[in-house]
Structure 1
Amino acid sequence: MGHALITAGTSGLGRKVIEEFLRAGHCVTTTYCKNYEKAKKVQEDLGAYSHHLHIVQTDVTKKSELKKLVDAGIAKFGGIDYLINNAGPFVFDRKKLMDYTEDEWYEMVEGNLSAVFYLLRLTIPHMRQQKFGRIVNYGFQGANSASGWPYRAAFAAAKSGLASLTKTLAFEEAENQITSNMISPGNIVGDMKEASIEESRKTFDSKTPIGRSGTGEDIARTIMYLCEENSDMITGSVFEVTGGLDVIHRYR
């Protein structure tokens, strides 16, 4: 089967994604930044797939570490077929743009936009050579139209830029049978990031129109569909997986 590079797959929304790729028979190279204990537990929990799972410590805001990550993945499993850009720093404190520090701005732009650029440069040559590739980036609800997101200015600016990059790449690489799409998760928080759909249906969520919280499995299922060989007609698209919730304006 193929080889998937999935950033930040040992926790949060990336956890279910690496599980789905492994269960589908693919090899997976994934990353963690600081939480070694969590990464170690994932390796243990997925012990049945130990020969197909490679975890590398990586800070996605550092270009040199991204180069080492791709080199390590290729050395382990060969060329990369699927690039899932799940990692992305986020400032959880709600504050206006003028209250952001320069370091916070840099982290948002480097981690959410520039890191994807560097990884594309490192992986697309392999995809071109084999005439196949699937790229999935993460956005936010409204990224497709560059919506303003109060108190999330730096993150929204980087992700809106990534939405444009996603579409441009789709046009430029279509001739090489490489697709490029974006998935925008809804308000998936806490344990729900690593939960299954079945688990979410046990508790009614009055804030989400469909009546249950979104989960990591919802995101993973969508990504797996976009990565299928026969999904080649789907490229340059942004998919919002929100359960009907207006994420940006829910506080108003």
Structure 2
Amino acid sequence: MGHAFITAGSKGLGRQVTEHFLKEGHNVTITYRSDQIKAEELLRDYKGLQIVKADVTSKVELENAVNKAVNKFGTIDYLINNAGPFVFERKKLMDYSEAEWELMQKGNLDAVFHLLKLTIPAMRQQKFGRIINYGFQGANTAAGWINRSAFAVAKVGLVSLTKTIAFEEAENGITSNMICPGNITGEMKEATIEQSRVFPEQHTPIGRSGTGEDIARSVLFLCQKDSDMITGSVFEITGGLDVIHRHL
């Protein structure tokens, strides 16, 4: 079994990913930004888990988190860049502050750069590694996203980085892919597929909301040893919903 490093893995879309890795017998290190109680809940339920407080916009805190992960469990085999700061208020580019713009770039793009620098050297040595980044539906086409410009531009840049790393590191047994969640909100972020089937979702073509388990299943599949043929790819987990153009 391997060792997964999952940013923001204690709640939201990251929680099911964390639990799935643990249930598969992997060791896991997760970061959390502020909700220590939520992170400690997982510690009570699972062995092979380490929690580390870290803000992904801080290079120093990321370095500290990776060092703690490696010291406890050894090489990081699976890097899951789940954390993704987001400005919930919908507004035009001209209404974003510089601080908001910088937060989107640091949290969604720069953080991945720093974590790649911290983890790929060891992945190269062992000739194995799996990198999973998160985007949004349409990111692969560099689509414009009205009133979400700061977030969208960081994720579109991350698409290119995801593909570039896939090409550059393929010879080292390292794959790099992107998961693009659909409209998964509220309790559904931590819900199972079975739970989502209880409440029909009329806006999603398949008839149910997406869940954290949908994302976790996709991530675990891409991280398998025999998934090495899949790299540089972007997967939309949307149930057929056009997320970008749902709300204008």
TM bracket (short chain): over 0.9
- Aligned partner of 1:240 in structure 2 is 236
Question: Which digits, 9 at most, give the CA deviation of each residue in 1:24-55, with x for residues without a partner?
Answer: 110000011011121122222x2xx23x0000
- Aligned partner of 1:110 in structure 2 is 106
Whole-angstrom CA distance in 2 between matches of 1:40 and 1:78: 22
Please state how far the C-alpha of 1:71 moved relative to its aligned partner. Answer: 0.3
- Aligned partner of 1:41 in structure 2 is 41
Aligned residues: 248
Query: Percent identity between the aligned chains?
Result: 68
1:210 to 2:189 alignment = no
- Aligned partner of 2:14 in structure 1 is 14
Runs of 4+ more than 6 Å apart: none
1:1-252 maps to which residues of 2 (within 5 A)? 1-44=1-44, 46=45, 49-50=46-47, 52-252=48-248
Give the match's secondary structure for 1:136.
strand
Whole-angstrom CA distance in 2 between matches of 1:41 and 1:237: 34
Please state how far the C-alpha of 1:77 moved relative to its aligned partner. Answer: 0.2
C-alpha RMSD over aligned residues: 0.6
Give the counterpart letter for 2:89 in structure 1: D
Structure 1, unmatched stretches of 5+, are: none
Whole-angstrom CA distance in 1 between matches of 2:178 and 2:94: 28
Give the counterpart letter for 2:23 in structure 1: R
Question: Which digits, 9 at most, give the CA deviation of each residue in 1:105-141, with x for residues without a partner?
Answer: 1110000000000000000011000000000000000
Give the counterpart letter for 1:25 in structure 2: G
Whole-angstrom CA distance in 1 between matches of 2:239 and 2:49: 31
Whole-angstrom CA distance in 2 between matches of 1:19 and 1:107: 28
Question: Which digits, 9 at most, give the CA deviation of each residue in 1:171-211, with x for residues without a partner?
Answer: 00000010000000000000000000000000110000000
Whole-angstrom CA distance in 1 between matches of 2:247 and 2:77: 40
Whole-angstrom CA distance in 2 between matches of 1:21 and 1:13: 13
Whole-angstrom CA distance in 2 between matches of 1:2 and 1:222: 17
Whole-angstrom CA distance in 2 between matches of 1:21 and 1:36: 20
| TM-score (normalised: structure 2) | 0.99
